[in-house]
A and B are shown apart, each in its own frame.
Chain A
């Protein structure tokens, strides 16, 4: 196991997992001296009945009746400020966030405002602006997942000033993450597939990118095997509780991994694709993951080879000569995408040209790739990628990902 010359690792979140994990919430709140949480969520989650399940599980030992379900799909400063006022006006003493990435980010933003009595959230942006623990925050993810229940960052958009504020601090970590199978039971196959591949990309990139360390490695190794095994099951049988719990746990492990070993090219290009074309994050990750591996193979083949055993199991591992193992990992991930494509009736795209929006129109026309390649230059994930990337490199990878053909590795500039 690699011991880097220097590394840092931190995950202070208390994780509570199980089929009945939600029922532990009252005790967890009371332990922290809280009895009136503000529950925040979005319309989708509420509409799926998930907040009802949470309320019923909490019961009446604490007063969790105040529920705000209007968090928009994109985190918004106005919503943060409004819900912070709601928190204060109702003398709340904790926050429960039920939902995906945007709900989590909003909750973290609210927590900064109410804990620091902040007039201007912007003053706390950047790294290290927070110096003290915030109010108790319980994160209940409803996808498996973004891993934002265990990340120390939040992004809040100020739509009036057209600014994106990024916050980074260990104090933003939720106090508690609740992983309960009931929260992902209603996820349809298409969403299950792409959020699952998001988790896979976290675990894999954390394993081969530059910040890898022994603890993030251990989390990644645990996650990749679970995702490879349980994601197709969860996508095929949405009602299978064991698969849902396994995916929730795996996504959390992957979240811990990438929170401590930053991601690289896949997220770099994926963020850009998402912001230019509006493609859902998980889908970008799924498509770009094999390409991220291929692009970095010349530098990280040995490391990538170590993923084969947890992903594919003993037989495939033994049947694959060591020098081919990294490539085998790539093809297995492509195979996973194919499998998910079949399970979702074609909705899980395998390449960029296959992605269609709700009306069935292609979301990523070929002529927009240059714009994505440029946008990727502005994204910080490239720092942690093993190999350097410039505009040409981005274009090359995007073209291959658009066509759905393996990357021509002879064209990768090696310096």
Chain B
């Protein structure tokens, strides 16, 4: 018997499931926010036609892909399916993905802590981070959102915040 053992790395089914669900939710919420929020709409309009980006975990997923086709922003599922991706935000490990998507680390903090590798043009990546920030303000109560984003937009009108929140949630759950 060898003094060296071979050890197969295991799986982390619960963390993987959590991350997959939240990525799905976030993807659909971005699709929704692109219809509901003025600023998100503007950000997407500045991006090229057929712009696609993905967010997910190394080395083996899960992933979320969002793309823009004919001016419409769509959540494209967990697989880019051969479609070229202009920006890829790769989180270095499933555990880091869990930290971010359970809001223990904001996107800003996660970036500062080198949890994310950004592949692609910086200006586009910045736009996506701004979009993600807005989506988080819609999805999360203020207490959690202010931990998730760098500067909580306290100057948003209640109409925008609550009206938008209803709109984003409804569209996310209904997938429209």
Contacts and interface: CB of A to CB of B under 8 A. Distances in A.
Contacts of A8: 113-114
B112 interface: yes
A164 to B, nearest CB: 9
A383 B113 contact: no
A379 B122 contact: yes
A388 B126 contact: no
B18 interface: no
B151 interface: yes
B129 interface: yes
Interface string B45-70: 00000000000000000000000000
Contact of B122 (A166, A210, A388): A166
Best-buried of B111, B115, B120, B150 by chain A (most CB within 10 Å)? B150
A368 to B, nearest CB: 19
Given A210-B108, A383-B111, A413 B155 contact: yes
B113 A7 contact: yes
A380 interface: yes
B40 to A, nearest CB: 14
B151 A6 contact: no
Contact of B113 (A6, A126, A378, A380): A6
Main secondary structure of the interface of A (DSSP, over half): loop
A382 interface: yes
A378 B108 contact: no
A413 B153 CA distance: 9
Contact of A380 (B114, B119, B126): B126
A415 interface: yes
A6 B92 CA distance: 13
A409 B128 CA distance: 29
B117 A127 contact: yes
A262 B114 CA distance: 11
A415 B153 contact: yes
Contact of A378 (B118, B122, B129): B122
A8 B117 CA distance: 13
A208 interface: no
A388 B150 contact: yes
A126 B123 contact: no
Interface string A21-34: 00000000000000
A261 to B, nearest CB: 9
Nearest to A4: B113
A128 B117 contact: yes
Contact of A211 (B112, B118, B152, B154): B112
A262 B119 CA distance: 17
Contacts of A415: 146, 150-154
A384 B119 CA distance: 17
A388 B151 contact: yes
A387 B126 contact: no
Interface string B114-155: 110111101101100100000000000000001001111111
B112 A126 contact: no
Given A211-B113, A379-B123, 19 more contacts: A5-B105, A6-B113, A8-B113, A166-B122, A211-B114, A377-B123, A377-B126, A378-B123, A379-B122, A379-B126, A380-B122, A383-B112, A383-B126, A387-B150, A388-B149, A413-B151, A415-B152, A415-B153, A415-B154
Interface of B: 105, 108-109, 111-115, 117-120, 122-123, 125-126, 129, 146, 149-155
7 contacts: A5-B113, A210-B108, A210-B109, A383-B112, A384-B111, A384-B112, A387-B151
